[in-house]
Amino acid sequence: MSVWYYPVMAGAAAITAIAGAAVIKYKKSAKGIFFKVAALALFAAFFVRFYLFGNEYIMNSSALSVPEGFPNRSYVALGAVQVWLSETALFLLVLFPFYRAKWLDRLAAAVGGEIYLFNAAMFANLLLAVGGPEAVSSLTVRGAFLAAETGVGFALSGLLLRECASSFGEAVRSGWKKYLLLAVGLVAMLACSMPDFTLEVLFGEGPSSMVILDLTFWHRMFLYASVLIPVAAYLLLRNADRNTVMFVLVYYSLEVLTVFSRAHRVPDFSDVTGLPLHLCHTALYVTALCLLFRWKKVFYFTYFINVLGAFLAMAMPNYSNGAAFSTGVVAFWSNHMAAFYMPVLIVALGVFPRPGRREFRYSLIGFAAYFLLILFVNAWFSNYNASVDYFFINSDFIADKLGRWAEDLRNIVWSFSLGDLTFTFYPLYQFLFFLVYVLLALGMWFVYELGHDMIAGWADIRLRKKKIRADALALEVALAGRSVEQPMQPENADKLILKKFTKRYGNSDVYAVKDADLEVRGGEIFGFLGPNGAGKSTIIKSIVGIQTITDGAIEVCGYDVAKQPVQAKRMIGFVPDHYALYERLTAREYINYIADLYDVPAEERKERLDRYIRLFEFETAIDNQIRTYSHGMKQKVTIMAALIHNPKVWILDEPLTGLDPNSIFQVKECMKQHAKEGNIVFFSSHIIDVVERICDRIAIIRKGQIQCVRTVEEIEREGEGLEQFYMSVINGKEVLPVSCRKEARGEAKA
């Protein structure tokens, strides 16, 4: 290299960066700002030398040619690799200050340092590959900015390497799995940053068999890859931290935009056909900008509209040369694959939330505005270049693939002149084009929802399995070698216990139940009272295992409901407030089905079933289909099914609603008998006089908190009925312990 200015410029840029670091002396508060400013300066140098000039000189090469200035093919290949690696290092160093993570700092320091050191040593070859012989023989603006970029990148990676030096030992000890993951990530980063001309320069256009057109084998393989790549990316990133996810997405979007921009730089905009106004072109800009600046509302345009356009483009590619390694084909697929799956991946990883109807509506409004703009632009620019066809609505490219009927629609033409300009439109064809696209976008939304529901289902299953494994381990520790069929607390074998039970639904700040403590003993009929919405059903559904427990614990006969759910449920018979029966079965078939679930021996189930048939006067109806029963008869079937396995805890949630007086009497007698046998009867009802007559103790719940637990006798000794006591509690009056209430009464008399 005959021009000595470039090494001087590179050295000056490096010294400036190092001096800036020395001035701030790496103060913690200023260090982050320094790296961000240096990264932005590095990107500015790249932006000027990349976007403001034409193609790199090496793009004129092919697999067999040696462009002027290169000694041989080896130097041509080396130049292509240098351009490739320089862009990898550039975006690593530009992005790491904004998405700080230890692994990213170390990767940027190691990879960026090696690449910039190599490019500095072989700068003459890199300069030739980018700027051509003119840049090597004389000072050019493009060469100057390339030198500044190399100098800043070299200094920045060196400073970062110094900062991360102490953490490399930790990385060495991190194990082979992290090395493997890092290697996979580095390969993926290199694949993302590969310039579109690289394969053609190194290997030519590829074998004649590798033609990606008309659904050939290779065309289908690329379509399959466009689906499998985002799936693999999601699986790798689903458990990653936020900074890692954002870095990967931003890095990829910027690298793809760089590949795309090689054919759309500022000099290319002098030709109207070079403007990036195709729908898929807008996707690359919109995706990158939305990720960088968190433009959520703008993002959904590309999510609903661009993805569909990219898929249709990949299914019907519009390049003439379909050789797999050709520059045009590589650029086409790298751009359209990103436009197709990046928006979907962004939502799947939770960067932007799943959209609703409002977002879909806004995206359609945006699409309508874009469509009208392109209609006008096509008609206007066609006066200067007849090949203008943004979004393929100005030519018969799409119509030709649909058949004669679509071609006939284009025969309806509307044309007018403004001065020397002629504007031509195809109103019917273009209107139907818009309408069909909107309908396809609506179909894409349906597919999205299915996909996201499937992903959410997988995530839920994964979390449940993880919780099951954790619970099994905790249970094994708690049982200390005892069988899982044994209760965790054998001393509570005849009790139902709530310990600080708390339930909150979703992310709500309101607790359905808060810190509920309760203990019910065997042989009791326990009444559970409270107004609608107080938390009664929440507690009952958590006891029987229908709902999860937010906090606290529930024990059923010594079994922990959360850790021993199956064993706890075997102890329970449940009569819900809204029964759900298999109504095409007979009552006998249904009750036998429930008995099979609980492994009730044949002799025991027959003896019990016969007893309940007589008690509930069901002899003539037991073998009829349940759908023929009245409400009261169905309630009786529910009660018999709940008792067929003789549960130690019988829970009834509003069991008397809709029953006639005779049936109510039968249910009450059954409850008394079940409690007399030493079992627990947990009875929730709004019928206070029934609770007062048959319950031993009662609890009253209000606004998710248990207000008091009393025996019926204690309440009666105070000289007031249960109904009066209940009303005073739910109206918010303070409830004193019985002893205190007696003392208060005595003081009042005195």
Biggest CA-to-CA distance, the chain: 118
Predicted pLDDT at 527: 93
Predicted pLDDT at 390: 92
682 contact partners, CB below 8 Å, separation of at least 6: 496, 520, 526, 528, 540, 543, 649, 650, 651, 652
> What are the C-alpha distances in Å from 689 to residues 695, 721, 724?
10, 9, 11
214 contact partners, CB below 8 Å, separation of at least 6: none
Handedness of CA 552, 556, 559, 564 (dihedral sign): negative
DSSP summary character for residue 65: -
> What are the C-alpha distances in Å from 705 to residues 96, 117, 534, 536, 737?
50, 68, 8, 10, 17
- End-to-end CA distance of the chain, in Å? 113
Q: What are phi and psi of 328, to 5 degrees?
A: -65, -40
By C-alpha distance, which of 551, 550, 546, 570 is closest to 559?
A: 570
> CA 593 to CA 699: how far, in whole Å?
34
Predicted pLDDT at 472: 81
Predicted pLDDT at 176: 56
Predicted pLDDT at 169: 56
**Ranges of the chain whose pLDDT falls below 70:** 1-3, 24-29, 63-64, 165-179, 733-750
Place of tokens 């959904």: 300
Predicted pLDDT at 740: 40
Provide the β-strand partners of residue 556. 496, 559
Predicted pLDDT at 555: 94
The answer to whether 374 and 261 have CB atoms below 8 angstroms apart is: no
Predicted pLDDT at 415: 94
Predicted pLDDT at 750: 36
Predicted pLDDT at 586: 95
> What are the C-alpha distances in Å from 624 to residues 580, 592, 593, 621, 634?
17, 14, 15, 5, 12
Q: Whole-structure pTM over 0.75, yes or no?
A: no
